[in-house]
Structure 1
Amino acid sequence: MGRALGRFAVAAAVFGVLDGLWLGVIGRPLYDEALGDLLAAKPNAAAAAAFYVIYVVGITYFVTGPALAEESGRRALMSGALLGFVAYATWDLTNLAVIEGFPASIVAVDLAWGTVATAIASLVTYAVCRRVPALA
């Protein structure tokens, strides 16, 4: 159980930093412009925390665990990219389908971000866990 929690903590830290930079600095102007009034004035912290916990459990269970078992950084990178693409496609394409005024222009950028961020977080988590014997 300690190994799983350690892996989770590494993945949470890496993904949290990446997504924090994206949402707070890099992508913020894009989302503000594209989503405008659809954005909440103040994000729902409980919902955001639930997303991050669930998503990082997904990274840990579906990506880094199997990649560590196979000792394959390539597996971590590719499976992370696929998980990110699927998860972000679920969000973006569902919004595009059911929310009036959801901008199609944001879909490709957000899909790319989810794919890249999850791939990087997965690979870095894998690399850190390989170097820490208690997590490998």
Structure 2
Amino acid sequence: MTAKSILLIDDEKHLSTVIQACLEKLGGWTVLKASSGSEGLRKAEAEHPDAILLDVMMPDIDGVTLLHKLQENPTTRAIPVVLLTAKVQQNNYKQYSLLRIAGVIAKPFDPLRLADQVAEALNWK
């Protein structure tokens, strides 16, 4: 069986490296990375990952706007998305609950639990 692939879209390079290591070592998945929303959209269309882990706050296209672009695109609309965000106030969760997403993971996260959190959000367990 082929390992599942996750596209990580996050503009924080150091954090992306940590996330990639966690998901590859602890989850056993292949991680593709994009450092901007526009790059992430292109990679999602070209690579067809099994899931997307998407940072909410990015400089070129914010995560929620990118989520809508992914869901409007016939090539990417079926890819489940998990949001990764430092915005975890109660009103943010209300906003996120209205989106068609697989889940939300709060920053900062526990690196040793990240793969489990992603698997749980995506029902990969």
Question: Considering the TM-score relative to the shorter chain, is it more than 0.5?
Answer: no
Q: Which has the larger radius of gyration?
A: 1
Q: Which of the pair has the greater relative contact order for Cα pairs under 8 Å at 6+ separation?
A: 1
By percentage of residues, which structure has more strand?
2
The alignment's TM-score, normalised by the length of structure 2, stands at: 0.27
